[in-house]
């Protein structure tokens, strides 16, 4: 029987694949690499592309990743897949957008926190909740 | 005493309210299950990255990334995660209370605070009470994606890189179980060294492609994003759980009210029958 290596493909949002494989092909940043069992430990970013896993018995499964990280240890391969398309300028644009939303929100900018007001508001909400609880207890 | 008709309208209006709260309870229950599922699914990623980072930190004791170095704290960044909608009991109130206690402590120590809000309720609250909000995430809805968070997290990380903030915190509700949600303040930056992986101290190292620093940079950013994402997902599960409990309580209260009103209605009806009877009897006696 062929030697096998354990493969985990995970993304931040879901567990994609976990199992044994004979060989894995992954689109590393400096070119596609094939990983056999007992590969030397390696850490590299991935480009977008296909991760192919040949499972025990020769059946092949492939997964599309839009990027991510690849970690190799002699008996375990971990693919940390990105769920979003990543690029420096894309990230930059997202950051700008987040800032603009905040600016819009604070059109009437009030920088210091009004602690007295915040506390009064919270105290009111808490009192309401407590009153509801009390009412519930009296009733039952 | 209210007349029979009045009580009947009241009962029917409470019944329709109860229908709504029942429906909301069931919707929240099914959404909670989904959210819990998502919460579970997001865990392996963060764990794997943490293990790799832990290993990297040990393999490269001489290289310290700025995300791992403690600095003197003059200004801190806070990411507050709240729900988008209300009707979920004291969930958001408790969270804001916790946040405010922490903020006040910093205020006392003359530490400035930059904020970033995720979720409508946090926006509204900090807009009303003030606070320097520098970034904001859009409506995340019931299916938050990591993509929605990249921008907000990046704003904070850039500020940290530029030295504008010296610490970064995440404020969110931690899901303990359906009945309990704990408001939590978690430190994101600088990353607190993980001691769990001490036993990994063999003499081996990865081959890096390209440079190890670059790889570490990417890893750390992704790690922090995944932590923020986990916070959002966990908060979502909390929101649905809290809503389910609140709506269940509301439905129960409605049934109690209906029972009481029904009793009052029956009494009123009985009283009017008795009165009519006695009127007829006394009328007959007079003839």
What residues of B are in contact with residue A94 (Cβ under 8 Å)? 147, 150-151, 154
The superfamily (CATH) of domain A5-87 is F0F1 ATP synthase delta/epsilon subunit, N-terminal (2.60.15.10)
Q: Which residues of A touch B207 (CB under 8 A)?
A: 40-43
Give B56's contacts in chain A (Cβ within 8 Å).
Answer: 43
**pLDDT per residue over B22-68, tens digit each?**
999 999 999 999 999 988 888 888 888 888 877 777 776 667 778 88
Can you give the pLDDT at residue A5? 92
Residue A15 · residue A43 · CB < 8 Å? no
At A108, the pLDDT band (50, 70, 90 cuts) reads low
Closest chain A CA to residue B223? A12
**pTM of the model as a whole:** 0.84
Q: Chain A residues with CB inside 8 Å of B54's CB?
A: none
Chain A positions touching B127 (Cβ under 8 A) are 105-106
The set of residues, in sequence order, having a beta carbon less than 8 Å from that of B48 and lying 6+ positions away, is A8, A10, A71, A78, A80
Radius of gyration of the CA atoms of chain B, in A: 28
- Tokens at B283, concatenated: 């009328």
Is the pLDDT at A109 greater than 60? The verdict is no
Q: Which of these CATH numbers, 3.50.50.60, 1.10.3470.10, 2.60.120.10, 1.20.5.440, describes A90-139?
A: 1.20.5.440
A135 to chain B: nearest residue by CA? B253
pLDDT score for B203: 60
pLDDT of residue B238: 94
Q: Is the dihedral of CA B151, B153, B159, B164 positive or negative?
A: positive
With left for phi above 0 and alpha for psi between -120 and 50, is residue A25 left, alpha or beta? beta
Q: Which ranges of chain B have pLDDT less than 50? A: none
- Indicate yes or no: CB of A126 within 8 angstroms of CB of B218: no
Residues in chain B closer than 8 A to A71 (CB atoms): 48, 52, 206
pLDDT band at A120 (very low <50, low <70, confident <90, very high): confident
**Angstrom distance (rounded) from CA B50 to CA B45:** 9
Report the C-alpha dihedral over residues B41, B42, B44, B50, rounded to 10 degrees.
Answer: -170
CB contact under 8 A, A94 and B154: yes
Instruction: Give contacts of B125 with chain A, Cβ < 8 Å.
Output: 118, 121
Which of A13, A83, A99 minimises the CB distance to B135?
Answer: A99
State how far the Cα of B236 lies from the Cα of B143, in Å rounded to an integer.
9
Torsion (CA) B206, B210, B211, B212 in degrees, nearest 10: -40
Asked which of A60-64, A84-88, B18-22, B273-277 is least confident by mean pLDDT, the reply is: A84-88
CB B268 within 8 Å of CB B4: yes
Q: How far apart are CA A28 and CA B22, in angstroms?
A: 52
Q: Do the Cβ atoms of B137 and A118 come within 8 Å?
A: no
pLDDT at B62: 66
Hey, are the CB atoms on A114 and B129 less than 8 Å from each other?
A: yes
Option in A14, A93, A113 nearest B130 (CB): A113
Interface with B, mutate which of A90, A118, A121 (most B CBs under 10 A): A118
* Chain-chain contact of A42 with B209 (C-beta, under 8 angstroms): yes
A91/B151 touch (CB, cutoff 8 Å), yes or no? yes
**Cβ atoms of residues A65 and A46 within 8 Å:** yes
Chain A contact set for B49 (CB, 8 A): 69, 80
pLDDT, residue B147, reads: 81
Residues from chain A that touch B131, judged by Cβ atoms under 8 A, are: 110-111, 113
The minimal CB distance from A122 to the residues B97, B218, B219 is found for B97
Q: How far apart are CA B236 and CA B88, in angstroms?
A: 11
Domain with CATH 2.60.15.10 in chain A: 5-87
Give the integer Cα–Cα distance in Å for A48 and B8: 66
* A136–B93 C-beta distance less than 8 A: no
- pLDDT of A128 reads 81
DSSP B114-171: EEEEESHHHHHHHHHH--EEEEEE---TTS--THHHHHHHHHHHHHHHTTS-SEEEEE
A46 pairs with which residues across the strands?
A28, A68
Q: Determine the residue among B111, B135, B216, B253 to mutate to test chain A binding: the one whose Cβ has the most chain A Cβ atoms within 10 Å.
A: B135
Q: Are residues A110 and B130, on separate chains, in Cβ contact within 8 Å?
A: yes
Q: Which of A42, A69, A83 sits opposite B145 (nearest CB)?
A: A83
Mark yes or no for CB contact B90/A126 under 8 Å: yes
Q: CA B201, CA B154: separation in Å to the nearest integer? A: 32
- Positions of CATH 1.20.5.440 in chain A: 90-139
């Amino acid at each position: 029987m062929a030697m096998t290596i354990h493969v985990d493909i995970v993304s931040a949002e879901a567990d994609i694949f976990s199992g044994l494989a004979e060989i894995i092909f992954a689109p590393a940043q400096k070119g596609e690499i094939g990983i056999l069992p007992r590969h030397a430990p390696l850490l590299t970013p991935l480009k977008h592309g296909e991760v192919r896993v040949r499972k025990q018995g020769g059946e092949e499964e492939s997964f599309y990743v839009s990027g991510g990280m690849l970690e190799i240890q002699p008996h375990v391969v971990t693919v940390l897949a990105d769920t979003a398309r990543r690029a420096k300028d894309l990230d930059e644009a997202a950051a700008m957008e987040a800032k603009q939303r905040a600016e819009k929100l604070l059109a009437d900018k009030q920088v210091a926190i009004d602690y007295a007001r915040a506390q009064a508001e919270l105290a009111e909400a808490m009192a309401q909740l407590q009153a509801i609880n009390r009412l519930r207890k009296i009733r039952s | 005493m209210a007349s029979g008709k009045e009580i009947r309208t009241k009962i029917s209006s409470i019944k329709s309210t109860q229908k709504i709260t029942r429906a909301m309870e069931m919707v929240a229950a099914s959404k909670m299950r989904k959210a819990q599922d998502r919460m579970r699914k997001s865990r392996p990623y963060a764990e794997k990255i943490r293990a790799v980072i832990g290993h990297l930190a040990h393999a490269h004791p001489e290289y310290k990334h700025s995300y791992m170095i403690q600095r003197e704290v003059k200004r801190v960044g806070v990411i507050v995660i709240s729900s988008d909608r209300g009707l979920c009991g004291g969930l958001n109130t408790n969270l804001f209370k916790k946040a405010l206690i922490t903020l006040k402590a910093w205020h006392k120590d003359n530490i400035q605070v930059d904020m970033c809000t995720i979720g409508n309720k946090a926006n509204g609250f900090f807009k009303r009470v003030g606070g320097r909000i520098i970034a904001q995430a859009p409506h995340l809805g019931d299916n938050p994606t990591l993509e929605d968070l990249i921008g907000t997290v990046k704003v904070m990380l850039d500020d940290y890189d530029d030295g504008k903030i010296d610490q970064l915190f995440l404020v969110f509700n931690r899901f303990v179980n359906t009945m309990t949600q704990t408001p939590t303040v978690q430190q994101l930056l600088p990353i607190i060294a993980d001691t769990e992986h001490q036993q990994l101290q063999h003499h081996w190292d990865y081959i890096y492609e390209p440079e190890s620093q670059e790889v570490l940079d990417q890893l750390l950013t992704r790690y922090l994003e995944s932590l923020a994402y986990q916070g959002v997902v966990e908060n979502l599960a909390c929101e649905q759980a809290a809503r389910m409990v609140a709506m269940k309580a509301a439905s129960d209260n409605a049934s109690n009210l209906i029972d009481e009103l029904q009793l009052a209605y029956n009494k009123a009806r009985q009283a009017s029958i008795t009165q009519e009877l006695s009127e007829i009897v006394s009328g007959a006696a007079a003839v």
